[in-house]
Amino acid sequence: MLILISVGMSLWFLYGIHPNSLPIILANIAGITFTTTLILMKFKYGNSKNKKA
């Protein structure tokens, strides 16, 4: 799900570059940064079957 959100934001980022719309570009850079961070954290600290609660 997070990967789909990142792909969507990347497409909006490309759309923002076309008309050179700074608010669209900046908002999507922030969103891509946050979702990429979440994806990386999910892979690093994700649910492991060997973890003890």
Q: State pLDDT tens for residues 7-53.
A: 999 999 999 999 999 999 999 999 999 999 999 999 999 876 666 65
- Is the separation of the CB atoms in 35 and 10 below 8 Å? no
Tell me the whole-structure pTM to 2 decimals: 0.77
Position 51 scores a pLDDT of 61
Q: Which band of pLDDT confidence, cut at 50, 70 and 90, is reported for residue 2?
A: confident
Torsion of CA 3, 5, 32, 2, to 10 degrees: -40
Which residues does 29 contact at the CB level (< 8 Å), separation at least 6? Answer: 13
The pLDDT, as a whole number, for residue 1 is: 87
Alpha carbon distance 32, 30 (integer Å): 6
